[in-house]
Amino acid sequence: MIRREFLRAAAIGAGAAALPLSASGRTASAVEGFVLSKLPYGYDALEPIIDAETMTIHHTKHHQAYVDNLNKALAGKADWLAMPIEQILKKLAEVPEAIRPAVRNNGGGHWNHDFFWSIMAKPGTGGAGPGGEFLKSIDESFGSVDAMKKQFLAAATGRFGSGWAWLIRGKMKPLEIVSSPNQDNPLMGGGPRPILGIDVWEHAYYLKYRNLRAKYVEAWFGVVNWQVVGENYAKSAA
Ligand code: MN3
């Protein structure tokens, strides 16, 4: 058997019939490993809220580096390379200890950025805001959409250093807001798949907003794709 055939056989054996899907649905094969997905819009699509230069560096340098370093960490481990990234994060405790920190940081970075790109849209095209059951859950959990945004802003600005703020299904209430350091996310440790999330690493906003993280978070709501976020809400109910 040639090497490529062997790897493909190994991938199918370990990952059932399906090739692994990244968060945004791109396939990765055991041969090439994970791949940087294309953005669902142009680098300048989120202007003026997120500038094209920030988007270009963020995607082609930062996200690319997470993908490359994830592949490097998993090199030679066909069973892990064949797994969807979401599944790897859920099973992080089973990743060999020697590579677990690298998989956590870079696998988290890969999933988080795929997710982040997917929930944004050109200003004015992302829908009016939450609706239906999603809106009811927000009202029940926070009182109003504005109150939810306020709490999200507090979590995003309160996260010391680099990290993320998330809207997720809650335990005590239908929805809750949490934040995580570095490239961690709620999936690690068996939590729910996020509904909404924001990257508050300085690389996400520093060129335009400098040190003013709160200004960035407030403006960012103008590029949220509420259609996709509503779908995330529906999916997370299952
Ligand atoms: Mn980032």
The string of pLDDT tens digits covering residues 109-136 is 999 999 999 999 999 999 999 999 999 9
Classified by CATH at the fold level, domain 1-14+47-238 comes out as minor pseudopilin epsh fold (3.55.40)
Give the model's pLDDT for residue 21: 46
Give the model's pLDDT for residue 28: 55
For residue 27, report the distance from its CA to the centre of ligand 1, in Å.
21
Query: What span, in angstroms and rounded, lies between the C-alpha atoms of 105 and 209?
Result: 25
HSE at residue 223, side-chain half, CA atoms within 13 A, is 24
For residue 161, report the distance from its CA to the centre of ligand 1, in Å.
13
**Residue ranges with CB less than 5 Å from ion ligand 1:** 199, 201
For residue 58, report the distance from its CA to the centre of ligand 1, in Å.
6
Domain residue ranges in the chain: 1-14+47-238
Give the model's pLDDT for residue 27: 52
Give the model's pLDDT for residue 32: 72
For residue 85, report the distance from its CA to the centre of ligand 1, in Å.
17
**Could you say which residues of the chain have pLDDT below 50?**
1-26
**What Cα–Cα distance (Å) separates residue 86 from each residue in 31, 80, 108, 136?**
19, 11, 9, 28
Give the model's pLDDT for residue 200: 98
Give the model's pLDDT for residue 232: 98
**N- to C-terminal Cα separation, the chain:** 42
For residue 113, report the distance from its CA to the centre of ligand 1, in Å.
6
Amino acid (1-letter code) at residue 192: P
Query: What span, in angstroms and rounded, lies between the C-alpha atoms of 177 and 165?
Result: 7
For residue 7, report the distance from its CA to the centre of ligand 1, in Å.
31
For residue 112, report the distance from its CA to the centre of ligand 1, in Å.
8
For residue 127, report the distance from its CA to the centre of ligand 1, in Å.
24
